[in-house]
Structure 1
Amino acid sequence: MNILYLPIDERPCNTLVVANIAKTNKGIHLITPQKRLQEKKKIPAITQELWQWVEQEAAQCEGLIFSPELMLYGGLIPSRIHHLSDEKRDSFIEKLIKLKNDNPQLTILSSAIVMRTPGYNSSDEEPDYYEQYGEAIYKSKYLFDKKERMGLSSNEEDQLVRLTDTIPREVVADYENRRAYNLKTTLAILKLAKDSVINNVVVPQDDSAEYGYTAIDQKKVMTVINENGLGRSVLVYPGSDEVGATLLARFINDTNQYQPKVYALFSSTLGPSLIPNYEDRPFFETLKKHVQAINGKLVESMSEADIVLGYNTPGKIMQESWEQETNIDQTYYSFRDLNTFIDALKEAISAGKKVIVADSAFSNGGDRELINALVRENVFLGLYSYKGWNTNANTLGTTLAQGCIADSLSRETIKTNIYHLLDDFIYQAMIRMNLTKSVLKQEDLNYFDLKDKAEKINTLISQAILDYYNNHLTTLANEVAVKSLITRSPWNRMFETELEFDIHIREGERVEE
């Protein structure tokens, strides 16, 4: 099955992670553009050549996972800093319609990301002025929206006035004009869904919040969806970097006329009702949307499920992953029982279920207590998927996708799960901040800029990952040895890493070929 895949940007989470998931199914041939055609962070992709490449490849493909972020703006980050004309968007829409007309066999699934509004000062992924005014831009619109919908206290009213006076008018105009442009693009994509040019659309909200710019745009998008009866073919929910994997799973499920039945097993009592960091709704509401996005169905018992989702959630308070070493909140213990959780996962594996794990107890990395238990209790190698990275939606979307796509506990499935153990847990949760605080300071570097020392830092990262894996997860390391590990920093910063390695599975270990 040939599937053309256009990622939202060139980071490993949108390219390598999706390619690895595809490899867990022997029937999938994922066709992706060359790296030279893709963006380089703030440098836009070569969209004209990308369109030529897509037009050449489309005839041999059954499916197209499409990204307006890449094909119009030149990538996710360029979509936040561009100055494109209306004519450019009109031409983009015409090309997409022509592509479908020329290739009627092509099932097209598209993302259409609602532009994020980070609540902090940083221009790393935003316009330059966000370095000075980012927090004020976020907070002022948050309060404005809250005032319109709920009302403000007198202190909040005063804060809104101060923030509004702080931000230059030209900054607000630039930011809001770009948001308006991007919203019009999203609405144009929805019209293509209504006209059956596009079969399915996912509208992820990147780093969403209950109030503010993203919430305002979401309301406008939802109005159009409801007015046009698109509630089944267009879904809106928190996320972004998982969208490629989600759409891949949706295409595979639809093509196979398969609606996977998913049973969610939570690790904590309050988990379903808690609101994760960087998102605007409870865990369970996001779960509903992500299961719908893959054309799945939630069921109420393990016995009727095709897939058992082990959903590791906080006890009561969600922290960043690096806090678990020195400042973990007590409710991770008092409001959560991982022994019961692990026993239920073992029961599901023994019953022959596809068992997957979404490790969302912390944001930006995996849970040490969970990983230790999965390894100690010999559960990890029985999983069809393990993910635990960045936001809850990123984790949930990618693990559900692999749960649908992986056709066996093959070498590729094991290797992909090991990838996420090394990256999501060991790198993101256990060593990233330690290296940032120690080595980067000594080298006069910072979290967002490794300057000309990326190779040196990555040598240290690779060794630290291997040391942790071999010394702290010894039981697993004895069963699956990690060989020739190389790490890279695709955006020359510490936030993400790209891993390249091989594995050697101990003779006698059960692997399905």
Structure 2
Amino acid sequence: MSVHRSTALARMLALSTVSVLAAGAGLATPAAASPEPGGSAPGPSAPAPEHGSELAIVPLDDRPANTYFPEMTAAAADVGTTFPPDEAIGTFTTPGDGAAVGDWLLEQDDADGYVVSVSMLAYGGLIASRTGTLSEEQARENVAALRELRAQNPGTPIYVYDTIQRLAVTSLGEDAVDLYDLIRRWAILVDRVENLGQEEYRAELEQVRSQIPDDVLEDYLAARARNHEINRLLVRWAAEGVIDHLVLAQDDAAPYGLHRAEREQLADLVEQLGAGDRVQIFPGADEVDATLISRFVLEQRDVRPTVSVEYSGVDGADWTAPLEDTTFDVNISRHVRAAGAVPVDEGGDIRLMVNTPSADGSDRGADLDAFVDRMASLQAAGEDVVVVDAVEVNRADAALVERMESEVSLSGLLAYSGWNTAGNSLGIATGHGFARWGLLQRPGDRSVPALAEAAGAHVSYLLHRYVLDDRWKNVVQPDAYEFARDRGWNVFGLTPEQTATMQDRVRDALVPLTEAFYTEHFAGRTVTVGRRGEHTFTGVIDGLDAVDVALPWPRLFETELEPEVALSWPAP
């Protein structure tokens, strides 16, 4: 599917409005959008209201995590999005065209803000950024578009992110897993031996090095060196004001590795230049566009929520998540600040409920029961709740989701995510939840149809998150892997015929699961559409208009899942 998704969003709502909302909330309600009491609204074919603002987004790549996730995060906050043409951003192992992306970016003069992945702008995407194919000189030429963009748009916010390269190379086949593990282990060992003097690891380092082809290692190191210099350049531009806010996201890592020295050098440069208020460095990657969309929304609406954290298990200060290199409390604080919010010890405007492992000797079931009970009590008290399901890698914690289904209003949460790494889950959930909160707190003069469209996008995305992170990752994907591997197929590189077969199998399984989840947890529920002072106005979820499922790349790691939920307004 194309990354241009405005048509899908325009179909999302079948609206009916109620005059009491406009009168009580002081919201503009065009006469054409106001039916008789109890009547029906303009259907999906009616023109969708324009968004309150528009963001131009250069994505990390064309996966749903970097196109659909940010689009829906923005839409839930009444922000429209536009992306470069499909041919400019490439797909899978075909890199994007950084120069073409830069040209496109400079044409977006009407945008109210910019969120830019330098991995795409400089190198052609995340996978391309992990190879040394493109020279540093070429990368510098591509990112120069940012300076020109600032010159053209001196007062428009420009938010930029890049990755600190992960420890491993990209695994594109079953036979590449060994190389992935070898290079990752080598990068950790060389840091411990050469940088930290831990000689007890030297024999293992030499043994691992002997198994890695010279050309593979040379390309890996060339990419690291180039990317590090570009990141240093970005920090300087943030200090100069070319970039309003910069996130350097540490892709999959560990407490030791070649990234450690790079990260420390970048942090030192930030301090030297006095750019600490403009630059954040934390574990993550795919979630950062959502984080920066939240920052845009909150700054545009001139509101900064306070955020307090509660854990299901151990405190974040006592846990370093898999594939990360800092304790999770630090990662939370940095994500929250990058998203435009303020961490507080307790009683925040937003309650961030974080699922962490239980302490040794603890009763995991009892911990989860208490955690979910706490969620339900916060909801009952009218608190705004965001859930970060950080325990498992690449999937939701099924035991948590099962309890939430029984005890929590799933459609009533501000956000939920259990997708991929802990940092990814954190940024996806906080980005969505904080942006949504910003619109609810400061709707401004937005019309009823505009707020209702945003509410429809919010509910559709919530449904997507539960089904994708739990039903897809815990049910459908394992079955798909087993089916493909039983036939000797490479699940990381399917042929066109295999892709078609697997896409049909995934769709046939995932669509009914989405419909069942909708029926059980969303149909007929109320959803907050607008707030004005002490008044909260709600709509009713009254239809699942469509569920689109497709494999975006010829592999089984991810799937597109796009439910379209309809809302209606009850008669006064």
Normalised by the shorter chain, which TM-score bucket? 0.7 to 0.9
Matches within 5 A, 1:19-58: 19-26=71-78, 28-57=79-108
Query: 1:486 deviation in Å?
Result: 3.0
CA distance in structure 1 between the aligned counterparts of 2:336 and 2:246, rounded to whole angstroms: 14
Question: Is the Cα contact below 8 Å between 2:122 and 2:143 reproduced in 1?
Answer: no
Q: Could you say what secondary structure the match of 1:236 adopts?
A: strand
Question: Is the Cα contact below 8 Å between 1:109 and 1:201 reproduced in 2?
Answer: yes
Query: Which whole-Å deviations, capped at 9, do the CAs of 1:295-335 have from their partners, x for residues lacking one?
Result: 22112222xx1111111122248xxxxxxxxxxxx96726x
Asked if residue 266 in structure 1 is aligned to residue 311 in structure 2, the reply is yes
Asked if residue 373 in structure 1 is aligned to residue 417 in structure 2, the reply is no
CA distance in structure 2 between the aligned counterparts of 1:386 and 1:115, rounded to whole angstroms: 27
Aligned to 1:246: 291
Asked if residue 124 in structure 1 is aligned to residue 167 in structure 2, the reply is no
Asked if residue 223 in structure 1 is aligned to residue 274 in structure 2, the reply is no
CA distance in structure 2 between the aligned counterparts of 1:228 and 1:403, rounded to whole angstroms: 32
Matches within 5 A, 1:182-221: 182-221=227-266
Letter in 1 for 2:116: F
Q: Could you say what secondary structure the match of 1:90 adopts?
A: helix
CA distance in structure 2 between the aligned counterparts of 1:174 and 1:36, rounded to whole angstroms: 26
Query: Which whole-Å deviations, capped at 9, do the CAs of 1:132-167 have from their partners, x for residues lacking one?
Result: 63322222231121134554364x221112223333
CA distance in structure 1 between the aligned counterparts of 2:317 and 2:409, rounded to whole angstroms: 23
Matches within 5 A, 1:13-412: 13-26=65-78, 28-57=79-108, 59-118=109-168, 123-124=171-172, 133-148=179-194, 150-152=196-198, 154=200, 156-270=201-315, 272-302=317-347, 305-316=348-359, 333=364, 337-406=367-436, 407-408=439-440, 410-412=455-457
Letter in 2 for 1:103: N
Q: Could you say what secondary structure the match of 1:9 adopts?
A: coil
Query: 1:244 deviation in Å?
Result: 0.5
Identity of aligned residues (%): 25
Query: Which whole-Å deviations, capped at 9, do the CAs of 1:345-381 have from their partners, x for residues lacking one?
Result: 2222233222111111211111222222222124212
Question: Is the Cα contact below 8 Å between 1:375 and 1:473 reproduced in 2?
Answer: no
CA distance in structure 1 between the aligned counterparts of 2:560 and 2:228, rounded to whole angstroms: 32
Query: Which whole-Å deviations, capped at 9, do the CAs of 1:387-425 have from their partners, x for residues lacking one?
Result: 110001111001111111113592222111100111111
CA distance in structure 2 between the aligned counterparts of 1:142 and 1:273, rounded to whole angstroms: 22
Letter in 2 for 1:268: G
Q: Could you say what secondary structure the match of 1:178 adopts?
A: helix
Aligned to 2:520: 475
- C-alpha change, 1:470 and 1:97, in structure 2 (3 Å) is closer
Query: Which whole-Å deviations, capped at 9, do the CAs of 1:225-251 have from their partners, x for residues lacking one?
Result: 122122221111100000111111112
CA distance in structure 2 between the aligned counterparts of 1:294 and 1:477, rounded to whole angstroms: 28
Letter in 1 for 2:172: D
Question: Is the Cα contact below 8 Å between 1:4 and 1:32 reproduced in 2?
Answer: yes
Asked if residue 450 in structure 1 is aligned to residue 494 in structure 2, the reply is yes
Q: Could you say what secondary structure the match of 2:378 adopts?
A: helix
Query: 1:502 deviation in Å?
Result: 2.7
Query: Which whole-Å deviations, capped at 9, do the CAs of 1:28-62 have from their partners, x for residues lacking one?
Result: 122222223212122121333322222221x2122
CA distance in structure 2 between the aligned counterparts of 1:51 and 1:23, rounded to whole angstroms: 24
CA distance in structure 2 between the aligned counterparts of 1:444 and 1:216, rounded to whole angstroms: 41
- C-alpha change, 1:477 and 1:96, in structure 2 (3 Å) is closer
Query: Which whole-Å deviations, capped at 9, do the CAs of 1:423-451 have from their partners, x for residues lacking one?
Result: 111101222112211x2134432321232
Q: Could you say what secondary structure the match of 1:403 adopts?
A: helix
CA distance in structure 1 between the aligned counterparts of 2:306 and 2:93, rounded to whole angstroms: 40
CA distance in structure 2 between the aligned counterparts of 1:52 and 1:173, rounded to whole angstroms: 32
Aligned to 1:324: none
TM-score normalized by the length of structure 1: 0.88
CA distance in structure 1 between the aligned counterparts of 2:560 and 2:484, rounded to whole angstroms: 19
Aligned to 2:559: 497
Question: Is the Cα contact below 8 Å between 1:469 and 1:477 reproduced in 2?
Answer: no
Q: Could you say what secondary structure the match of 1:231 adopts?
A: coil
Question: Is the Cα contact below 8 Å between 1:272 and 1:283 reproduced in 2?
Answer: yes
Query: 1:277 deviation in Å?
Result: 1.2
CA distance in structure 2 between the aligned counterparts of 1:342 and 1:123, rounded to whole angstroms: 37
- C-alpha change, 1:68 and 1:478, in structure 2 (3 Å) is closer
Q: Could you say what secondary structure the match of 1:141 adopts?
A: helix
- C-alpha change, 1:142 and 1:355, in structure 2 (3 Å) is same
CA distance in structure 1 between the aligned counterparts of 2:517 and 2:154, rounded to whole angstroms: 53
CA distance in structure 2 between the aligned counterparts of 1:63 and 1:160, rounded to whole angstroms: 47
Q: Could you say what secondary structure the match of 2:547 adopts?
A: strand
CA distance in structure 1 between the aligned counterparts of 2:334 and 2:515, rounded to whole angstroms: 38
Question: Is the Cα contact below 8 Å between 2:164 and 2:228 reproduced in 1?
Answer: yes
Question: Is the Cα contact below 8 Å between 1:484 and 1:501 reproduced in 2?
Answer: yes
Letter in 2 for 1:12: P
Letter in 2 for 1:14: N
CA distance in structure 1 between the aligned counterparts of 2:520 and 2:248, rounded to whole angstroms: 41
Letter in 2 for 1:312: N
CA distance in structure 2 between the aligned counterparts of 1:94 and 1:269, rounded to whole angstroms: 45
Q: Could you say what secondary structure the match of 2:210 adopts?
A: helix
CA distance in structure 2 between the aligned counterparts of 1:482 and 1:252, rounded to whole angstroms: 28
CA distance in structure 1 between the aligned counterparts of 2:455 and 2:205, rounded to whole angstroms: 55
CA distance in structure 2 between the aligned counterparts of 1:180 and 1:122, rounded to whole angstroms: 17
Higher mean alpha-carbon deviation, 236-245 vs 170-179, is at 170-179
- C-alpha change, 1:231 and 1:502, in structure 2 (3 Å) is same
Aligned to 2:533: none
Tell me, which stretches of 5 or more residues in structure 2 are unaligned?
1-52, 441-453, 525-540
Letter in 1 for 2:92: K
Q: Could you say what secondary structure the match of 1:193 adopts?
A: helix
Q: Could you say what secondary structure the match of 1:363 adopts?
A: coil
Query: 1:465 deviation in Å?
Result: 2.4
CA distance in structure 2 between the aligned counterparts of 1:495 and 1:331, rounded to whole angstroms: 33
Letter in 1 for 2:73: I
Q: Could you say what secondary structure the match of 2:549 adopts?
A: strand
CA distance in structure 2 between the aligned counterparts of 1:62 and 1:504, rounded to whole angstroms: 28
Query: 1:101 deviation in Å?
Result: 0.9
CA distance in structure 1 between the aligned counterparts of 2:378 and 2:481, rounded to whole angstroms: 39
Match of 1:2 among 47, 51, 54: 54
TM-score normalized by the length of structure 2: 0.79
CA distance in structure 1 between the aligned counterparts of 2:563 and 2:94, rounded to whole angstroms: 29
CA distance in structure 1 between the aligned counterparts of 2:417 and 2:293, rounded to whole angstroms: 17
- C-alpha change, 1:354 and 1:254, in structure 2 (3 Å) is same
How many pairs were matched up? 486
